[in-house]
């Protein structure tokens, strides 16, 4: 079936390109280590002319043959490609942010191939402590479109900077960010905790759940700046082996993240029950979060698939980018 859209998820370290068919189904996918901070540097011919621009080179490598095989196909991109360090800055849109608000704020850059790349803006939440996202808003929109019957839910995006997004009446209305993944990497690689750790490559569920329970315990009320030291002391006293320590630290930090999230949600919602949770992201990381969410009292936890692709498809449709291809089809 004729391809309808090229959708790019272009982040800091990677570029994922999707060739989407008439209903937004993925016909082909490629993943390149060509994020905006590690673009190609070797000049070569692009569309018959010399080119040294890293964004152009990465774009051509990702989908040049798709563009050749599908003349006139629209291209849409989300992620850090729209940041101030990206190909073209797409200024943040304020919360509450909807599909319509984001689709009418796309920024366009014309490639040397003569193809327009439409870039999705990020979202900013203005408050005493501002919050921003770039790329996650597209994933959230993808989930909102596929799960439109869920009006009261929280969408979680675990990662280096985990996002927890409240959606209501078709809008992204509020979100919180936790630097859990980045703090985990820093603690294990650049502090004394890493000196006694051994990484086996196998997930130790018991050690992970022990860390979660410490975060939820009365001792956990002192916060991660205190409880993190227990990874060392439990090791020194023989209660935690070197191979158990990495997953213990993971459970500890994720437990603190979700404990804080649950506490704030209960304050905001009063007597209302906790919302349904929809997780987007790496399956192994989401499995960890599912375990910890269960321990924190979140009973309804689901996983979403193809959120980015679906979000880009719906944004392109709302922006009118698909009209030409569908008319020709």
User: Would 67 be classed as within a structural domain?
Assistant: yes
Q: How many domains does the chain have?
A: 2
Tell me, what's the pLDDT at 170? 87
Q: Is the same domain home to 235 and 297?
A: yes
Q: Are residues 79 and 193 in the same domain?
A: no
The CATH number of residue 260's host domain is 3.30.420.310
> Residue 111: how many CA atoms within 13 Å on its side-chain side?
24
Q: Are residues 233 and 186 in the same domain?
A: yes
288/315 same-domain check:
no
| Beta carbons within 8 Å of 62's beta carbon, 6+ residues apart | 8, 15, 17, 30, 32, 34
pLDDT tens digits, one per residue of 70-125? 999 999 999 999 999 999 999 999 999 999 999 999 999 999 999 999 999 999 99
The low-confidence residues of the chain, meaning pLDDT below 50, are: none
pLDDT digits (tens, 9 = 90+) for 5-23: 999 999 999 999 999 999 9
Q: Are residues 282 and 209 in the same domain?
A: yes
- 8 A C-beta contact, residue 47 and residue 67: no
- Is residue 316 in a domain? yes
Full domain range(s) for residue 116:
5-139+311-328
104 within a domain of the structure (yes/no):
yes
Residue 101 lies inside a defined structural domain of this protein: yes
Q: The CATH number of the domain where 13 resides is what?
A: 3.30.420.300
- Asked if 262 and 203 sit in the same domain, the reply is yes
Provide the H-helix boundaries in 131-244. Answer: 136-146, 180-190, 205-216, 224-227, 230-236
Residue 126 sits in the same domain as residue 25: yes
Q: Are residues 292 and 315 both part of a single domain? A: no
Within a domain: 154: no
């Amino acid at each position: 079936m004729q391809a309808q859209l090229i959708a790019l998820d272009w982040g800091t370290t990677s570029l994922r390109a999707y060739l989407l068919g008439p209903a937004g189904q993925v016909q082909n996918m490629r993943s390149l280590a060509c994020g905006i901070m590690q673009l190609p540097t070797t000049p070569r011919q692009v569309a018959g002319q010399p080119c040294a621009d890293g964004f152009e080179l990465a774009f051509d490598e990702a989908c040049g043959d798709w563009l050749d095989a599908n003349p006139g196909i629209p291209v849409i991109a989300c992620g850090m490609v729209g940041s101030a360090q990206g190909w073209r800055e797409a200024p943040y849109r304020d919360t509450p942010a909807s599909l319509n608000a984001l689709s009418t704020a796309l920024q366009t850059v014309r490639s040397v191939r003569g193809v327009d790349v439409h870039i999705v803006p990020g979202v900013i939440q203005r408050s005493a402590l501002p919050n921003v996202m770039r790329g996650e808003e597209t994933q959230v929109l993808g989930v909102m479109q596929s799960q439109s019957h869920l009006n009261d839910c929280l969408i979680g995006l675990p990662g280096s900077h985990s996002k927890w997004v409240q959606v209501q009446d078709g809008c992204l209305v509020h979100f919180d960010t936790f630097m859990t993944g980045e703090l985990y990497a820093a603690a294990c690689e650049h502090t004394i905790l890493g000196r006694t750790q051994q990484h086996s490559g196998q997930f130790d569920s018991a050690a992970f759940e022990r860390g979660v329970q410490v975060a939820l315990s009365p001792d956990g009320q002192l916060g991660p700046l205190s409880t993190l030291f227990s990874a060392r002391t439990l090791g020194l006293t023989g209660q935690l082996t070197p191979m158990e320590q990495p997953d213990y630290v993971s459970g500890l930090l994720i437990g603190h993240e979700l404990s804080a999230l649950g506490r704030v949600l209960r304050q905001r919602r009063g007597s209302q029950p906790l919302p349904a949770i929809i997780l987007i992201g790496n399956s192994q990381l989401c499995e960890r979060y599912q375990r910890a969410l269960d321990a924190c009292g979140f009973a309804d936890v689901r996983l979403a698939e193809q959120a980015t692709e679906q979000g880009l498809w719906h944004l392109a449709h709302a922006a009118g980018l698909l009209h030409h291809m569908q008319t020709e089809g």
